[in-house]
């Protein structure tokens, strides 16, 4: 054990001195997630030396930018401790990323800040901007010398990484002209979530689970990520994305990989990634007519949420009145390898659903002979529930004798709840990811191979769906989603474990 931890430590550089250049520094992501996360790292004393250059088109003096950083920290965290000291590390440079001529002055400015704060030529480029800019920015960073540094250089890139496999390949080609694969940190913010990171520990640090973690003892695995929000102001982006590209290709498939991967021989980035890639290689490809056997799509209609009427997706701003874009997707993913042959991984995600919840349910097979079958209630299957958000924890569902009864069994739940982190997409996820990036630990970022396999899988589904116009809308806002998603499991003799029923103990 000691040796393993040592190996993990050897995997990272631990150099917390860096110039962080945030492209898109006046945007929503920077304000809501990045600045508060940097502040928390700063207040925890994680940085040795650092400075931030914010980049966007808007013209603004430094002090106005620093004031906006202060506002975003205070409104996100309500904390002002050391705030003046913190914001004094922030600088602003107006720059249009599509204007090739202004990268030169950005380089000069970055070199000056580097020199002033003695940042050892370490540079992190964080692209918090629309994806069409990712490739051109990377090319310019190289051609205009911003990546010619004496320390490390790293590129942090937000989702979506491409629109399909072809566009992802093209983007990757552009990025790789300036950065090696080891220098690219593709964000999947689910990999920053505490309980997603915990999957590895739950599986590989417990003698009671790993022997059961296979097709002999597990009947099916269910991953649900449901949102109550609609598309909000993101209609334009969402129209070209949909739930399949926005959620399934990245977050849901990453969770499948973490649940299904073999134990890595060491806890190093390369070993973990290579085990995840092996899962992607074993995915059963679904194409043509099979798509509608394995996958279900949906789009929300109007309905009631918290007693307020909400419009249907097609009436949202910047959405086509005849839109064929799915706001819900459910599917059965099969992993054709020795461990998982025959075990369905059911995944579902959607907007405007009844509850906001991300959960994983591992359903174990029934015991070979049920001695308690004749009692008043049939035995419940054993479940291991991993609560990802909003609550965080684990519940193990067992059967035990009912107190005082004869030999009647009843369901009991053993729960562990992580306390203190309650909001979806809390800054904490970004905080961990930023910290990892500065330490040079790329384990919780997606490797290109994972992205490519995942797109190859998803592209076949979207190709089939593009051929036909769906009968949308097919679920009411505030419901559990389309009926067809239930039928998907009924065909196999299963049902979705209702996420609301699984919450009980952990919320207390
Ligand atoms: P946003 O609010 O629209 O911000 C975009 C930023 O880019 C602004 O600072 C904007 O400032 C700047 N910008 C636009 N065009 C520019 C140009 N030509 N040159 C320089 N700067 C330019 O977007 P966002 O919501 O922050 O999202 C950014 C990225 O993060 C996207 O890839 C998104 O998919 C991803 N993401 C966001 C969230 C989230 O919660 N917001 C979550 C996950 C992923 P100016 O207009 O002043 O130039």
54-64 pLDDT per residue, tens: 999 999 999 99
Residue 189 alpha carbon, nearest atom of ligand 1: 43
What tokens appear for 271 in the block? 């070993």
Phi-psi sector, 126: left (phi>0), alpha (psi -120 to 50), beta: beta
Structure confidence at residue 377 as a pLDDT band (50, 70, 90): low
pLDDT tens figures, 306-332: 999 999 999 999 999 999 999 999 999
Structure confidence at residue 499 as a pLDDT band (50, 70, 90): confident
**C-beta of residue 499 within 8 angstroms of C-beta of residue 383:** no
pLDDT at 119 over 70: yes
pLDDT of the residue at 253: 98
Ligand 1 interacting residues, C-beta cut-off 6 A: 24-29, 32, 56-58, 95-98, 128-131, 158-159
Question: Which whole number is the average pLDDT over 122-128?
Answer: 97
What tokens appear for 256 in the block? 């499948």
pLDDT at 421 over 80: no
251 among known catalytic residues: yes
Among 21, 22, 29, 425, residue to substitute to test ligand 1 (most atoms within 8 Å of Cβ): 29
pLDDT tens figures, 221-242: 999 999 999 999 899 999 999 9
Question: Which whole number is the average pLDDT over 252-280?
Answer: 96
How far, in Å, is the centroid of ligand 1 from the Cα of 18?
Answer: 22
pLDDT of the residue at 128: 96
Query: What proportion of the chain, given as a percentage, has pLDDT over 90?
Result: 85
How far, in Å, is the centroid of ligand 1 from the Cα of 134?
Answer: 11
pLDDT tens figures, 175-204: 999 999 999 999 999 999 999 999 999 999
The model's pTM? 0.93
Name the packing angle between helices 269-281 and 448-467 (round to 10°).
30
Average pLDDT for the chain: 92
How far, in Å, is the centroid of ligand 1 from the Cα of 289?
Answer: 38
Place of tokens 């994305």: 241
Residues in Cβ contact with 451 at an 8 Å cutoff, skipping those fewer than 6 apart: 161, 162, 168, 172, 186
What tokens appear for 411 in the block? 């369901």
């Amino acid at each position: 054990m000691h040796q393993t931890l040592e190996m993990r430590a050897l995997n990272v550089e631990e150099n917390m001195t860096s110039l962080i250049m945030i492209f898109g520094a006046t945007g929503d992501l920077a304000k809501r997630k990045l600045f508060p996360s940097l502040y928390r790292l700063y207040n925890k004393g994680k940085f040795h030396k650092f400075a931030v250059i914010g980049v966007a088109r808007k013209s603004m003096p430094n002090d106005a930018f620093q004031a906006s950083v202060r506002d975003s920290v205070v409104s996100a965290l309500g904390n002002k401790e050391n705030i003046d000291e913190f914001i004094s590390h922030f600088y602003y440079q107006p720059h249009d990323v599509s204007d090739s001529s202004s990268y030169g002055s950005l380089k000069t400015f970055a070199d000056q800040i580097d020199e002033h704060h003695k940042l050892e030529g370490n540079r992190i480029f964080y692209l918090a901007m629309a994806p069409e800019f990712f490739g051109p920015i990377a090319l310019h960073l190289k051609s205009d010398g911003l990546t010619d540094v004496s320390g490390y250089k790293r590129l942090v890139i937000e989702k979506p990484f491409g629109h399909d496999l072809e566009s992802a390949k093209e983007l990757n080609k552009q990025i790789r002209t300036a950065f090696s694969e080891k220098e690219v940190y593709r964000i999947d913010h689910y990999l920053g979530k505490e309980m997603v990171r915990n999957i590895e520990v739950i599986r590989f640090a417990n003698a009671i689970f790993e022997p059961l973690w296979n097709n002999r003892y597990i009947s099916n695995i269910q991953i649900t990520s449901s949102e109550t929000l609609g598309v909000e102001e993101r209609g334009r982006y969402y129209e070209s994305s949909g739930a399949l590209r926005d959620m399934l290709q990245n977050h849901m498939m990453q969770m499948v990989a973490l649940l299904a991967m073999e134990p890595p021989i060491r806890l190093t980035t390369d070993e973990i990634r290579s085990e995840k890639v092996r899962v992607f290689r074993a995915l059963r490809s679904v194409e043509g007519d099979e798509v509608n056997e394995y996958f279900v799509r949906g789009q929300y209609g109007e309905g009631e949420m918290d007693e307020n009427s909400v419009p249907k997706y097609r009436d949202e701003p910047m959405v086509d009145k005849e839109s064929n874009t799915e706001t819900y997707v459910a599917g059965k993913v099969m992993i054709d390898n020795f461990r998982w042959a025959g075990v369905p991984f059911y995944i579902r995600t959607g907007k405007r659903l009844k509850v906001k919840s991300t959960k994983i349910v591992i359903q174990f097979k029934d015991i070979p002979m049920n001695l308690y079958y004749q009692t008043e209630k049939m035995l419940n299957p054993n479940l291991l529930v991993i609560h990802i958000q909003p609550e965080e924890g684990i519940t193990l569902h067992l059967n035990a004798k009912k107190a005082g009864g004869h030999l009647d069994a009843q369901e009991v739940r053993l729960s562990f709840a992580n306390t203190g982190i309650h909001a979806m997409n809390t800054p904490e996820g970004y905080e961990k990811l930023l910290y990892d990036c500065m330490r040079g630990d790329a384990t919780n970022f997606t490797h290109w191979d994972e992205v490519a396999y995942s797109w190859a899988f998803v592209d076949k589904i979207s190709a089939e769906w593009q051929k036909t116009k769906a009968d949308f809308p097919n679920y009411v806002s505030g419901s559990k989603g389309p009926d067809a998603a239930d039928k998907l499991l009924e065909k196999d003799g299963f049902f979705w474990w209702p996420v609301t029923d699984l919450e009980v103990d952990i919320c207390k």
